[in-house]
Amino acid sequence: MPKNSLFLFYCFLIFTAFSCQNSSSSHSDDQVLFVSPKLVVGIVVDQMRYDYLTRFWDDYGQNGFKRLIANGFTAKNHHFDYIQTLTGPGHASVATGTTPRFHGIIANDWFDKDSSSTVYCVDDASVQSVGTSSSYGKKSPRRLLVATLADQNRLHTQFLGKTISISIKDRAAILSGGHTANAAYWFYGNDEGRWITSSFYRESLPNWVQEYNDSGFVDQYLQPWNLLYDLSKYTESDKDNSPYEQLLKGKQSPVFPYDLEALKSQNGGFSIISDSPFGNTMTTDFAIKAIQEEALGEDKITDFLTVSYSSTDKIGHKFGINSKEIQDTYLRMDQDIARLLSFLDTHVGANEYTLYLTSDHGASHVPSYLNDVQIPAGYFNKKDFERQLMIFTKNTFGDAGVLKNISNKQLFLDHTLLSLSGISLQEAKSLFVEEIYKYSGISRVYASDQIMRFDTLDKIQARLLKGFHPKRSGDVWFVLEPNTISYPRRGTTHGSGYSYDTHAPLIFYGKGIKKGMTSEATYISDISPTVASLLGIATSSSSTGNVISQALD
């Protein structure tokens, strides 16, 4: 071959190799920068403690929780990093990647300083109910102060990516979907049994929801609730007839079976479905219907579906975390998760969706049960506390009206009355702090200005700081002793900053997710920025969480 030809041939080889390398590098960079699942599915299981995964592990099937963990990424030391650990703040924090200090949902209900009245986190008198003649649909996300992850996806895709949000609870559906959702649907039981929404999202129900409601779908869930397996299999929970469980009206004892049809009239009509695992099944069925009818995940533009399972919370409150009822609910929940995954595989594609599963808070053991097994626990009598504190207020300040409200373990003071009395706000707060420390069942008391200066190395103080919103929170906060709740002696609740309320599951699964697990500390506000990083979209403007980089492939 002539020298010139040989030189040109070598140049051609070098150019081709360089071009291929650049092409490969560019393609590789795109994959590293972001992935584009057709659908992101965000699942929140209301009141799911982390140890429900481990405690019931041997009884789960292979295609639900075990499939997610075996093929996804699990954060084993995942916590809420704020107080109050309640449904509204929980869903808002998952969705926004920040805490109540910034997103503003400080509780389910709170005392509003401007109107001097209690407000519900998603109530909105300016909108209309859609799908029901009741006022139960007059809801919106307007009290949520920042954008959600789904909102950011809508912005990123020029509103071509859809968002549909579903839950039995209105606040769970609304706060998960955010401000720009195409629709948020929640369940109105009572005498109607329908999926509804509000005019914030749309003026009328889409035809498919209207037809679904008119089909009488709800009747199929009014069935007897018996144990899924033989009683002998339920060794991870207390005896069936336990003294620590509440009763459904019409039942003489808290034992299986529960005939929902027979109990319906005494327990809120169709609302009784929410108090059974069939509420989770109903939610799964409606979510699957929504995917089909809304064409979610059918093109290359990422859509969002958020699903919150509420019945787990209602059952946990009523029967406690050590009941046969809660164990059976999670074994059935495992089947609902398996069914949803199977549908996503066939309808969207086995490697075309990304999913995360978490909770909005945990729950405590029933204190009376802990007492009976010699573990320190107790009950806080809120009514007695409030009555005695009002007497203290009248005697100290001359006017009981100085104390405007006590809610969410916070005191709201009337600043105007205080100034007229000649007592400074700072002095008044100090007097209340000193007084509240005298009451049994209380561990810590802080004035609001103390909270603003907290040392975040103390976990409880750090969680109070992140749950404190300067414009919405109270003047004095108090913290109950561990395993101490303000609740009836049967059943249980949540809301504290202790580990039984803060430790929640977190599993990532699907496209762009690396298999594995970590025991390093992660937090609820990390979920949104992690998914945002995966998608290559902006996080919420107030996001304070970190990307869990170990989870990303």
Catalytic residues, by residue number, are 87
β-pair partners for 187:
195
β-pair partners for 336:
none
Handedness of CA 447, 450, 452, 458 (dihedral sign): negative
CA gap 122, 176 in Å, rounded: 12
Q: Cα torsion for 190, 195, 200, 202, to the nearest 10°?
A: -140
The tokens for 59 are 């009884």
* Beta strand spans in 213-315 (E): 224-225, 258-259, 303-309
Q: Decide if 461 contacts 468 (C-beta within 8 A).
A: no
Q: Please name the residues in contact with 403: beta carbons below 8 A apart, sequence gap of 6 or more.
A: 389, 390, 393, 411, 412, 413, 414
Distances (CA, A) of 12 to 1, 4, 20, 145, 190: 15, 12, 12, 59, 77
Q: Give residue for tokens 């920068």.
A: 33
DSSP class of residue 355 equals E
CA gap 493, 319 in Å, rounded: 10
Query: Angle CA(211)–CA(213)–CA(218) in degrees, nearest 5?
Result: 135
For β-strands 303-309 and 163-167, DSSP reports them as: parallel
Phi, psi of 278 (to 5 degrees): -70, -15
SS3 497: coil
* Beta strand spans in 179-302 (E): 183-188, 194-198, 224-225, 258-259
The tokens for 179 are 């401000």
Q: Please name the residues in contact with 114: beta carbons below 8 A apart, sequence gap of 6 or more.
A: none
Query: Angle CA(542)–CA(161)–CA(335) in degrees, nearest 5?
Result: 90
CA gap 130, 135 in Å, rounded: 9
Amino acid identity at 168: I
**In whole angstroms, what separates CA 269 from the centre of its chain?**
26
SS3 117: strand
CA gap 83, 454 in Å, rounded: 14
Phi, psi of 14 (to 5 degrees): -65, -45
Q: Cα torsion for 360, 81, 184, 143, to the nearest 10°?
A: 130
Q: Both ends of the chain: CA-CA distance in Å?
A: 48
β-pair partners for 477:
410, 446
SS3 content of the chain, % helix, strand, coil (to 5): 40, 20, 40
